[in-house]
Homo-oligomer: A and B are copies of this chain.
C-alpha cells in the first residue's frame, strides 16, 4: 500500500535529494535537469521511462532540447510517497 509522506518526511527526503524542491501550491516535487544536448537529455528520459514503467509510477515532464523539467507526485495519495523519493533518487543517480 502506498502511504502519503508527512511534511517532516518530505523535508527529510529532500535533504538527500540534490536539486529537488517542493512545488508552490501543490504537494509535489520538481527539478530541472540540464544536459549537453538533446541526445543526452533524451537518453536520460529513456532510462527514466523504463524505470517508471517498471515501478508503474510515472513522471510529469517537459523537455526542450537539452533541458528536462520533472515534476513528481503520487495521484493515489494526493501527495508524495516513497515512490517519488525512489524515482527522484534514481534520476539524480543516472544524471550525475
Contacts and interface: CB of A to CB of B under 8 A. Distances in A.
A58 B46 contact: no
A1 interface: no
A86 B11 CA distance: 46
A49 B45 CA distance: 11
Interface residues of A, number: 16
A44 to B, nearest CB: 12
Contact of A61 (B49, B53, B59, B63): B63
Interface string A23-47: 0000000000000001100100110
A52 interface: yes
A30 to B, nearest CB: 13
